[in-house]
Amino acid sequence: MTQKQPDSSVPAGPGSGGPEGGALSHQRSGEPLWRTPRPLRALLVGGVGAAALAALVFTAATGFADPFVALAFCLVIAGGELARITLPGHRESAPIALAGAIAYAFLPSLGGEPVQHTVWQVTAVVALGVALGELPHVAVGRSPRLEDVARRVLTALLLAAAFRPLVESLSLTGPSVVVALLMTALVAVAWVLDVAVSAVLRAERLRTRLRVAMRDETLAQVATGGAIASSGVLIALACTVTGLVGLLVFTAPLLVSQVAFRRHSEVRRTYLETVRALSRVTEVGGYVENGHSRRVSQLSHGIACELGLAEAELLELEYAALMHDIGQLSLREPIAGGATVLASPREQRRIAELGSAIIRETGVLDNVAEMVRRQCEPLAGDGDEGVPPLGSRIIKVANAFDDLVGENGDAERRAAVVERLRMDTASEYDPRVVDALASVLAR
C-alpha cells in the first residue's frame, strides 16, 4: 500500500531498533535488474556467434555436403524458429527448431545412404536456419532473447562435436540399439548442460542464488526438454530408414505439443495481465499514486530474488504486491497521498483484510490473499498466528519504502528512508528484508 511524501522529511517510525547489517541493492537507485551488466550472457552470445560465423565461412568455402538434406533441415529449423513460443518465466523456446537441430547433428544416414556433413556444417546449417526464422520477428520488432538463441545453437554444436566423429570412426550408418542408446545419453548430457547454462544466466539476470535458479530451470524445462530431446532422437533414427519423410512425420507430434505449451503460456499471461489491470483500479480512483503498485511489485521482486525465493513464490508475490492496496477501495475518502504506512495500525489492518477478502473471491489465490491480509502485521505477528509469511514482510518493506520515497526520490532521501526502516527492524520490519532492499537499491 503506497504513496509518496511531498516534503523531504522522513516521519518517525512506529518502533525503534538496531539495524542488522546488510545490503540494499536492487532497483530504485540503479538500472532495472534486466538492464544491469551481464558479462556471462555477453560471453555466451559472443562465443556462440563467433563459432557460428566461423562455421558459415568455412562451410561456404569448402562446400556443403548433401546440400539437399542440409536445405531440408535448415528450412525445418527456420520454420520452428519462426513459430517459437514464450513460456512462463519469460523463457523463449523453439521446440521444432531445436528438435530439427538435434536430429541433423545426430543423423548418421538418410534412407540407408551415409551422410557426410561435419560439425562445421551442422553448426552452419543450424545457425543459418535460426537466423532465417528470426528475421520476420526482428522485422516486426519482436527481437529474440539472444541468450536463448545462442543456447539452441550451442546445443546443436556440442551434440555434433560429440557424435559426428563417432559416425566416421565407428561407421554408424543405420538404426540400432547402440546408436539409440548413444544418442539418448548424449542428448541427456546436453540437456543437463543447457539447464546449467540457463540457470547461470537466470541467476545473473535476476541476481538470485544459483541453487534456486538451477531448481527453477530444471522444473521449468523438464517437460519441454523431454519432448524436444526424444523428438530429435526419433527424427534422426527415422530418417535413416525413411529418408526425409521421417523429418515430416515425427515433427507433427511436436507441433501438437507446442500448441498446447503455447495455450498454457497465453492463459498464464492473460491471468497476469488481468491482475495488473485490476491493480490499477486504485490508481485510477485516486487512492494511490500512479505507478505505486508497479513499483512495489518490482521492488518486491528484486528483494525476493535477493533472498532466494523460488519462481512459483515469485509469481505469487508479484500478484500480492500488485494487489496489496486493493482494500483501499472500501475507504470513503482516500488516505492523504495514498500512503498507508502513515495510517493508523487499525486502519492498515482493515484495508489489508478487505483487500484479502476481495482476492479470496477468485477462489484460486488463497496464498496471495493471505500475504495481503498479513502485510501490515508487526514483525512478530498478531495473536497466535506467529510471524507473517515472508511475502507479507517483503511487501510491507517495499510498500513503506515507496510510500515514503515515491517515484522521484533522490539518493539522499532514499538513504534516509532506508535508515528509518532499519530503526524499526526490532518491531516492525524484517531486518533480512531491509538488508535485501539495501542490496537492491545499491545496484
Interval 274-323: pLDDT, tens:
888 887 888 777 777 888 889 999 999 999 999 999 998 999 999 999 98
Taking the C-alpha atoms of residue 40 and residue 123, their distance in angstroms, rounded to an integer, is 21
pTM: 0.80
Taking the C-alpha atoms of residue 144 and residue 79, their distance in angstroms, rounded to an integer, is 15
- pLDDT of 173 over the 70 cut: no
Q: Look at the block and give the residue holding cell 504486491.
A: 321
Taking the C-alpha atoms of residue 7 and residue 13, their distance in angstroms, rounded to an integer, is 16
What are the beta bridge partners of residue 363? none
> How many Cβ atoms sit within 10 Å of the Cβ of residue 98?
29
> Does the structural domain 24-33+271-442 have CATH classification 1.10.3210.10?
yes
Q: In 331-361, which positions are buried (b, 16+ CB within 10 angstroms) versus exposed (e)?
A: beeebebbbbbbbeeeebbbbbbbbbebbbe
Confidence of residue 337 (pLDDT cuts 50, 70, 90): low
Q: Look at the block and give the residue holding cell 523431454.
A: 226
Among 194-208, 335-349, 392-406, which stretch is predicted with the lowest mean pLDDT?
335-349
Q: What is the DSSP track for 142-159?
A: ----HHHHHHHHHHHHHH
Q: Look at the block and give the residue holding cell 483501499.
A: 328
Confidence of residue 336 (pLDDT cuts 50, 70, 90): low
Q: Look at the block and give the residue holding cell 498464464.
A: 268
Confidence of residue 103 (pLDDT cuts 50, 70, 90): very high
Q: What's the whole-number average pLDDT of the chain?
A: 84
Residue 169 has a pLDDT of 74
Q: What percent of the chain has pLDDT over 70?
A: 89
- pLDDT of 90 over the 60 cut: yes
Count Cβ atoms within 10 A of the Cβ of residue 18 and give its class: 0-12 exposed, 13-18 middle, 19 or more buried. Answer: exposed
Range(s) for CATH 1.10.3210.10 in the chain? Answer: 24-33+271-442
Q: Look at the block and give the residue holding cell 489489508.
A: 352
Which is nearest to 433 in space by CA: 405, 396, 404? 396
Average pLDDT over residues 225-252: 88
22 or 304, which is more confident:
304
Q: What is the DSSP track for 384-429?
A: GG-SPPHHHHHHHHHHHHHHHH-SS--HHHHHHHHHHHHHTTTTTS
What are the beta bridge partners of residue 437? 24
Interval 432-441: pLDDT, tens:
999 999 999 8
335 or 326, which is more confident:
326
Residue 3 has a pLDDT of 40
Helix (H, G, I), strand (E, B) or coil at 306: helix
Average pLDDT over residues 333-354: 77
Residue 60 has a pLDDT of 93
Between the alpha carbon of residue 276 and those of residues 283, 340, 365, the distances in Å are 11, 20, 14
